[in-house]
């Protein structure tokens, strides 16, 4: 059985200890430039730029999971920075170093906070005469926020990790569906009703979720198609405008937060878009690990092998993301090539029809 902190707890002190991250609250990144981002409704978000030493070959936004502060992603951002990417991390309102917001909702995080981050990333890219590609990196909620972005058509590429549309009926086993139903329909409303928020100890300790965020999660998780079944959110789904390449990674042992049917549901949102969306599978053995789960892909022990896999896969699909040199000038824009079949590392552990997961 996996470590409880790896199976789904946003108990950050315990989780980070389990993952080998030395980043107590209030810690500063080993490299990075702190700043405050102002949202359109006037909240200040704590954010950090990680700048490469030379010209950026891409500019990326790291969109966090529910209740997870930006410092959790700093090692990943630093790793990308060393490979020539400028990366922006941020804390949602009411989380980490951002403005307190006891009434913050997931809707606020996805429709107000992440757009502020994307605006900053796009502005950074546009200041460069070369206009480097813009990349969205989304973990869990940070991934399923992608189709909601008003400037979605300005994003060139995306990697999502364990991102999903987690309606309770999508958990594959009857026992898991019952547990998800209880969590969304009873557990979340009970504790918000008693305390006005989702206490951190109900996840094993750590950061609490603001009441509106927890109630929104409860409501959407009980609907047939998560936020897409909420008319006030459905109006913001803009996946049909996607023009880039999105790679949605399903982690095979992410049974608690991101089982395959929930990730596939997010992938299907992009059906019919002019761009590409690929559903890819990551098994722990692909990177020499016994387990990964929802959070383990950011663990130092396995992180670089996982991150190298993600980056190489994206570079193969988006040539303009590849490192450039005088002998390797930028390629002329071209029609996106058809997706290839899965690497042998994947096809050896997944059904022969796995290639059908790749959508244009």
CATH of region 4-167+236-359, choose from 3.90.550.10, 3.40.50.1820, 3.40.30.10, 1.50.10.10: 3.40.50.1820
Beta-carbon contacts of residue 313 (< 8 Å; ≥ 6 apart): 247, 280
Q: Residue 202's pLDDT is what?
A: 63
Strands 58-63 and 85-90: parallel
Q: Residue 300's pLDDT is what?
A: 82
pTM, whole model, 2 decimals? 0.84
DSSP string, 275-299: SEEEEEEE-GGGGT-S--HHHHTT-
Instruction: Provide the token pair at 325.
Output: 């040199």
Q: What is the pLDDT of residues 278-290, one digit of tens each?
A: 999 999 999 999 9
Judge whether 12 and 68 are in contact, CB under 8 Å.
yes
Q: Residue 197's pLDDT is what?
A: 85
Secondary structure element (H or E) that encloses residue 45, with its range: strand 44-50
Q: Is 65 helix (H, G, I), strand (E, B) or coil?
A: coil
Locate tokens 């992410």: which residue? 254
Q: Residue 337's pLDDT is what?
A: 35
Instruction: List the chain residues with pLDDT less than 70.
Output: 1-30, 200-207, 324-360
Distance of CA 338 to the CA centre of its chain: 25
Judge whether 78 and 85 are in contact, CB under 8 Å.
no
- Rg of the chain over Cα atoms, rounded to whole angstroms, equals 19
Per DSSP, helices labelled H in the chain are 4-7, 12-19, 74-82, 106-108, 114-127, 141-144, 174-182, 188-195, 211-221, 231-234, 260-268, 293-296, 300-317, 344-347
Q: What is the pLDDT of residues 13-59, one digit of tens each?
A: 545 554 444 445 555 666 789 999 999 999 999 999 999 999 999 99
Q: Is 137 helix (H, G, I), strand (E, B) or coil?
A: strand
d(CA 197, CA 7): 22
Instruction: Provide the token pair at 288.
Output: 């020499």
């Amino acid at each position: 059985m996996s470590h409880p902190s790896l199976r789904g707890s946003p108990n950050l002190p315990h989780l980070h200890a389990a993952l080998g991250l030395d980043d107590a609250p209030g810690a500063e990144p080993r490299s990075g430039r702190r700043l405050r981002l102002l949202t359109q409704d006037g909240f200040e978000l704590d954010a950090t730029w990680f700048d490469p030493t030379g010209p950026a070959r891409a500019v990326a936004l790291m969109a966090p999971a529910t209740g997870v502060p930006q410092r959790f992603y700093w090692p990943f951002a630093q790793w990308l920075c060393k490979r020539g990417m400028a990366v922006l991390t941020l804390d949602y309102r009411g989380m980490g170093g951002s403005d307190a917001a006891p009434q913050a909702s997931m809707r606020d995080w996805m429709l107000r906070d992440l757009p502020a981050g994307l605006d900053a990333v796009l502005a950074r890219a546009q200041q460069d005469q070369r206009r480097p590609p813009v990349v969205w990196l989304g973990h869990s909620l940070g991934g399923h926020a992608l189709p909601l972005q008003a400037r979605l058509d300005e994003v060139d590429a995306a990697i999502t990790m364990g991102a999903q549309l987690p309606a309770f009926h999508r958990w594959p086993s009857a026992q898991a569906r019952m547990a998800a139903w209880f969590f969304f329909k009873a557990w979340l409303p009970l504790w918000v009703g008693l305390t006005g928020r989702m206490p951190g100890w109900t996840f094993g300790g750590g950061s609490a979720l603001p009441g509106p965020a927890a109630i929104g999660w409860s409501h959407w998780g009980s609907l047939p198609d998560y936020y897409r079944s909420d008319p006030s959110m459905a109006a913001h789904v803009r996946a049909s405008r996607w023009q880039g390449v999105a790679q949605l990674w399903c982690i095979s042992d992410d049974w608690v937060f991101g089982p395959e049917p929930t990730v596939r549901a997010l992938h299907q949102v992009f059906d019919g878009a002019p761009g590409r969306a690929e559903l890819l599978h990551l098994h722990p053995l692909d990177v020499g690990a016994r387990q990964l789960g929802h959070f383990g892909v950011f663990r130092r022990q396995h992180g670089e092998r996982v991150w190298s896999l993600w980056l190489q896969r994206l570079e193969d699909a988006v040539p303009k993301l590849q490192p450039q040199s005088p002998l390797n000038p930028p390629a002329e824009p071209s029609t996106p090539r058809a997706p290839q079949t899965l690497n042998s590392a994947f096809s050896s552990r997944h059904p022969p029809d796995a290639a059908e997961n790749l959508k244009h």
